[in-house]
Copies of this chain bind each other. A is one copy, B any other.
Amino acid sequence: MKNKIKHLLLGNPLSTEQSGEKRLNKVRALAAFSPDALSSIAYANQEIYLGLALAGAAGLALSLPIGLTISVLLIIVAISYYQTIHGYPQGGGSYIVTRQNLGTMPSLVAGAAIMVDYLLTAAVSLTAGVEALASAFPVLWEHRVLAALSILLVITLINLRGLKEAGTIMAVPVYLFLFTYLPLLAYGALRLFMDGPGDIQASAPSAIQPLAGLLVLRAFASGCTALTGIEAISDGVPAFRPPQAKNAGRTLAVMAVLMFTLFVGSISLIQGLAVVPGPQETILSALARRLLGSGPLYILIQASTMLILAVAANTSFADFPRVASFLAKDGFIPRQLGNLGDRLVFSNGILILAAGTAGLIIAFQGDTHALVPLFAIGAFMAFTLSQSSMVVHWLRERGPNWQIKAAANGAGALATGTTLLVVAISKFNQGAWLTILVIPTLVIIFLKIRAHYRTVSAQLSLRGLPPSLKPAGPMRAVIPVSGVHRGMIDAVLFTQSISRQVTGVYIELEPGASKNVQEMWKRWFPDVPLVVLPSPYRSIIEPLLQFLDETDRQHNDGQMAMIVLPEFVPARWWHALLHNQTSWMIKNALLYNRREKGYQRVIIDVPYHLKR
A606 part of interface (Cβ distance < 8 Å):
yes
Once bound together, how far apart are the Cα atoms of A609 and B461, in whole Å? Answer: 13
A residues touching B (Cβ–Cβ < 8 Å)?
A: 13-17, 334-336, 339-342, 449, 452-453, 455-456, 459-462, 465, 469-475, 484-487, 489-490, 493-494, 496-499, 509-511, 524, 536-539, 567-571, 573, 575, 577-580, 587, 590-592, 595, 598-612
Determine the residue in chain B with the shortest Cβ distance to A455: B612
Given A15-B537, A569-B591: A465 in contact with B489 (beta carbons within 8 A): yes
Are A485 and B461 closer than 8 Å at their CB atoms? yes
Is B474 a contact partner of A497 (Cβ separation < 8 A)?
yes
Q: Are A456 and B568 in contact (CB under 8 A)?
A: yes
In this complex, what residue of B is CB-closest to A333? Answer: B578
CA distance A342 to B538 in the complex (A): 7
Q: Is the CB of A469 within 8 A of B486?
A: no
In the bound assembly, the distance between CA atoms of A498 and B449 in angstroms comes to 38
Q: In angstroms, how far is the closest chain B Cβ from the Cβ of A534?
A: 9
Query: Shortest beta-carbon distance, A491 to chain B, in Å?
Result: 9
**A584 to B480 alpha-carbon distance, docked (Å):** 22
Within 8 Å CB of A603, what residues of B? 604-605, 607
Q: Give 5 closest A-B pairs by Cβ, nearest first.
A: A460-B485, A15-B536, A498-B498, A472-B497, A603-B605
Residues A600 and B605 in contact in the complex (CB < 8 Å), given A15-B537, A460-B568, A537-B342: no
Residues in B with CB closer than 8 Å to A473 are 497
What would 12 A/B residue contacts be, using CB atoms closer than 8 Å?
A13-B539, A334-B577, A339-B538, A449-B578, A453-B578, A461-B485, A461-B486, A462-B484, A462-B524, A599-B609, A602-B605, A604-B605
The answer to whether A578 and B452 touch across the interface, beta carbons within 8 angstroms, is yes
Instruction: Say whether B602 contacts A456, CB under 8 Å.
Output: no
Q: Which residues of B contact A608 (CB under 8 A)?
A: 460, 600
Looking at the assembled complex, report how far the CB atom of A535 sits from the nearest CB atom of chain B, in whole angstroms: 8
The CA-CA distance from A590 to B568 in the complex, in Å, is: 13
Given contacts A493-B472, A578-B453, A579-B335, contact A610 B459 (CB under 8 A): yes
- Interface pair A587/B600, CB less than 8 Å apart: no
User: In the assembled complex, which residues on chain B have CB atoms less than 8 Å from the CB atom of A475?
Assistant: 497
Q: Are A569 and B592 in contact (CB under 8 A)?
A: yes
Report the Cα distance A13→B539, complex, angstroms: 10
A474 to B456, alpha carbons, bound, how many Å? 35
- Name A453's closest neighbour in chain B (CB-CB): B578
Whether the pair A17, B536 counts as a contact (CB closer than 8 A) is yes
Task: List the B side residues contacting A571 at CB < 8 Å.
Answer: 595
A578–B335 contact, CB under 8 A?
yes
Contact in complex: A16, B511 (CB < 8 Å): yes
Chain B residues with Cβ below 8 Å from A595 are 569, 571, 609
Chain B residue nearest to A594 in the complex (CB): B609
CA distance A601 to B569 in the complex (A): 12
**A498 contact set on B, CB distance < 8 A:** 498-499
CB distance from A353 to the nearest CB of B (A): 17
Chain B residues, Cβ within 8 Å of A570: 456
Cα–Cα, bound, A460→B484 (Å): 9
Query: Which residues on the B side are within 8 Å of A456 (C-beta)?
Result: 568, 570, 575, 579, 610
Contact A459 B471 (CB under 8 A): no
B460 lies within 8 A of A16 (CB): no
A510 and B16: CB pair below 8 A? yes
